[in-house]
Amino acid sequence: MRSKGFEGMTCSIASVLGALGDRWGALIMRDMLLGLRRYDDFRQSTGITNATLTDRLKVLEHNQLIERRLYQTRPDRHEYLLTPKGTDIALVVMALAQIGDQWDLDERGAPPLNFINGRTGNGIKVALLDEVTGEPVRLRDVRVEEGPAADDMIRWRLAKAQEYKATAQ
């Protein structure tokens, strides 16, 4: 049973999650970021059923994260390519991988993937940076404020968080 979507919710996080569709969409995007393009490769990589894979590819295409391109005729076969919007998902995938490596819930003791700077050969990580200075920012120094598109629910969340913060001190 598919869960209700996030339509009407004013939340950038919900909109990205909605564009991915579900956990299968996230794993397909992972595979695409690794360079996989074809239906059978996604099936082998994830173990996803044909019906679910077909549905998730349509969702990702509808949300303009991927595009389908014909690579063979008789029979027609398509491959899937990332759009510029889809390549932005790399940040989400890499952040999830980084957290998964840190938590080591599978108790592997080492990461299954390493993300490397192709120019320097150094490892890379997702980090918080000051958008003006480029300096690293610690999570405890992050403050969230109302943005120009904030609605009543955003304002309620921020007010509620302030209440909790005030009572914790």
Kindly list the domain boundaries of the chain, sorted by start residue: 12-88, 90-162
The pTM assigned to this predicted structure is: 0.85
Q: Over pLDDT 90: what percentage of the chain?
A: 91
d(CA 117, CA 124): 6
Kindly state the average pLDDT of the residues 6-30.
Answer: 92
Tokens of 163: 């209440």
- The pLDDT, as a whole number, for residue 168 is 82
pLDDT greater than 80 at residue 4 = no
C-alpha separations of 4 from 1, 108, 144 in Å: 10, 35, 27
Q: What is the DSSP string of 17-86?
A: HHHH-SHHHHHHHHHHHHT--BHHHHHHHH---HHHHHHHHHHHHHTTSEEEEEEETTTTEEEEEE-HHH
Query: With respect to CATH, is domain 12-88 assigned 1.10.10.10?
Result: yes
- The pLDDT, as a whole number, for residue 6 is 83
Per residue in 84-136, pLDDT tens?
Answer: 999 999 999 999 999 999 999 999 999 999 999 999 999 999 999 999 999 99
Between these two residues, 168 and 53, which has the higher pLDDT value? 53
Per residue in 34-49, pLDDT tens?
Answer: 999 999 999 999 999 9
pLDDT greater than 50 at residue 1 = no
Mean per-residue pLDDT of the chain: 93
d(CA 28, CA 53): 9
